[in-house]
């Protein structure tokens, strides 16, 4: 396997990163089966594993910890995240120093390790000064509890601001970004990915299969639904114009994949792997069958003609459904911020 360098860190990671969101109550509740899937991925050459404290309320981290206890921890590049609410305490969430330092200790215990390779801020927090966040993360690096830190689903402007503040205040910098990216969600090509290249940040992109839309389960004559439909209906509701556009694009992409002798999954992962800014797309198998269907993408290299046809089906920089971007700034989500007080 040809490993890739994670941004400017010098750390070598596999071209696919194993995401573990589906291990635990959110997906596969059987810990032993989840551990078998993790070990199969490691045996296939994957050395990059991503989780988050919020996944199944910490259960995913516990499963990952059990799996790593049965292998050589030093060979794994372990990433987790902080930000999401962990209970009802209003301070057990977000990007404050108070919560980051506490959450890191809890993640270390669940993971059964004394250090985290990559600690990521799961989402922006407009009510927290970015210097507060960077200061806490810098202290964790200097204490040896984390090796590096990164951001996830940050807009391009926030990425630039964080780099500027780190330089101005003498903080450690975000070395990675984890954005949503797939053939159906391409908005980051316009700004986020160029900024990551500008600052030499590694990119571990999430949802390369677009929440199952590019798994082969969607298309003309199929059910076109997901087990996650109830949790995130905006991603799957076929009364929404954006999802109708997605279905049309998926139908055309199916034809392209068949013509190229590829599975839909291989086309989808091959597309993300091809972008020069992307280090490793994150795959998120729930079953062993899912994992086995995704591993062949490690051998895929899409031709220029195939990539050109993808651009024709979904133009570069396009998000077919705005709900798929993962995070909406308060200035858009809250109408009161766009209106003068009365």
Residues designated as active site: 55
- Report yes or no on 222 lying in a domain: no
- Report yes or no on 83 lying in a domain: yes
Mean pLDDT rounded to a whole number for the chain: 96
Q: What residues make up the domain containing 40?
A: 4-178
- Report yes or no on 16 lying in a domain: yes
- Report yes or no on 316 lying in a domain: no
Mean pLDDT of 289-293: 97
- Report yes or no on 11 lying in a domain: yes
Tell me the residue ranges of DSSP E strands in 45-132: 48-50, 77-82, 116-121
Burial of residue 170 (number of CB atoms within 10 Å: 0-12, 13-18, 19+): exposed
- The number of domains in the chain is 1
pLDDT band at 164 (very low <50, low <70, confident <90, very high): very high
Q: Write the pLDDT tens digit of every residue in 10-46.
A: 999 999 999 999 999 999 999 999 999 999 999 999 9
- Please state, in angstroms and rounded to a whole number, the distance separating the CA atoms of residues 328 and 118: 24
- Please state, in angstroms and rounded to a whole number, the distance separating the CA atoms of residues 308 and 163: 33
- Please state, in angstroms and rounded to a whole number, the distance separating the CA atoms of residues 193 and 179: 9
pLDDT above 90: residue 96: yes
Q: How far is CA 240 from CA 14, 224, 243, in A?
A: 37, 13, 6
Note the residue count of the chain.
342
Q: Tell me the DSSP string of 250-262.
A: HHHHHHHHHHTT-
CA-based radius of gyration for the chain: 19
- Report yes or no on 122 lying in a domain: yes
Pick from 52-61, 85-94, 232-241, 293-302: least confident:
232-241
pTM as predicted = 0.96
- Report yes or no on 187 lying in a domain: no
- Report yes or no on 321 lying in a domain: no
Per the model's pLDDT, the better-predicted residue between 226 and 330 turns out to be 330
* CB-based contact 166:135 (threshold 8 Å): no
CATH number at residue 53: 3.20.20.100
Q: Tell me the DSSP string of 131-147.
A: HHHHHHHHHHHHTTSEE
């Amino acid at each position: 396997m040809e490993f890739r360098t994670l941004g400017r860190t010098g750390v070598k990671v596999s071209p696919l990163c194993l995401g573990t969101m589906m291990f635990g109550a959110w997906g596969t509740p059987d810990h032993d089966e989840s551990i078998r899937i993790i070990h199969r991925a490691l045996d296939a050459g994957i050395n990059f594993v991503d989780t988050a404290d919020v996944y199944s309320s910490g259960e995913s981290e516990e499963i990952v910890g059990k799996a790593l206890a049965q292998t050589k921890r030093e060979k794994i590049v372990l990433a987790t995240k902080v930000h999401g609410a962990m209970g009802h305490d209003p301070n057990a969430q977000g990007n404050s120093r108070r919560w980051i330092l506490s959450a890191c200790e809890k993640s270390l215990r669940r993971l059964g390790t004394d250090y985290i390779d990559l600690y990521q801020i799961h989402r922006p927090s407009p009510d927290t000064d970015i210097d507060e966040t960077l200061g806490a993360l810098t202290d964790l690096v200097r204490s040896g509890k984390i090796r590096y830190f990164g951001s996830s689903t940050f807009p391009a402007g926030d990425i630039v601001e964080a780099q500027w503040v780190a330089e101005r205040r003498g903080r450690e910098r975000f070395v990675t970004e984890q954005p949503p990216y797939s053939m159906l969600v391409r908005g980051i090509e316009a700004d986020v990915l160029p900024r990551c290249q500008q600052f030499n940040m590694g990119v571990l992109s999430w949802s390369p299969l677009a929440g199952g839309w590019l798994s082969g389960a969607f298309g003309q004559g199929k059910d076109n639904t997901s087990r996650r439909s109830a949790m995130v209906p905006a991603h799957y509701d076929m009364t929404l114009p954006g999802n109708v556009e997605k279905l049309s694009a998926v139908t055309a992409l199916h034809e392209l994949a068949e013509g190229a002798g590829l599975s839909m999954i291989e086309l989808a992962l091959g597309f993300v792997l091809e972008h020069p800014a992307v280090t490793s797309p994150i795959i998120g198998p729930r079953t062993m069958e899912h994992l086995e269907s995704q591993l062949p993408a490690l051998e895929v290299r899409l031709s220029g003609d195939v990539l050109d046809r993808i651009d024709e089906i979904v133009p570069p920089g396009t998000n077919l459904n705005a709900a798929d971007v993962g995070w909406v700034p308060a200035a858009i989500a809250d109408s009161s911020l766009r209106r003068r007080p009365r």
